[in-house]
Amino acid sequence: MQKANVLFLCTGNSARSQMAEAFLRRYAGERFNVYSAGLEPKGIHPLTVRVLEEAGFDLSQHTSDSVKKYMGHMHFRYVITVCAHADENCPTPLWHLGEKLHLPFDDPAAATGSEAERLAVFRRVRDEIGTALAAWVQSLAPEQAAP
């Protein structure tokens, strides 16, 4: 059976979309091909790597990609924006044949303060994303995972 493609889209593809990609691969990698991209990719934030490693994720194969890598090359069953900027600026050709969803989360890369304070924000957002995606996967009927 062919798996449906899912793209998580954010502005920088440095934190939230990377976290979402990791969680959906864990929760439903047998049902979906999972990707993430940014409108203006900035590289994966070091604290993203750290908090995902704490949760048992290996990001060594993850890359911070531009949305342009996928435009016109892949069909996505779901394009899921995880920040307001990406939601407002999502290129229509990415999702016009599938579904566009918006799951907004705070930007942990914008956190200020000590490293411990910034880590706390990254951990909170990581956990919120994990919870939201577990609920989303749980809500899907089997035919909703079809390409």
Catalytically annotated residues: 10, 83, 90
Buried b (16+ CB within 10 A) or exposed e, 96-105: eebebeebeb
What CA–CA distance (Å, rounded) separates 147 from 4? 4
Q: How would DSSP label each residue in 26-93?
A: HHHTTTEEEEEEESS-----HHHHHHHHHTT---TT----BGGGTTTT---SEEEE-SHHHHHH--HH
- Residue 94's nearest CA partner among 70, 111, 58 is 70
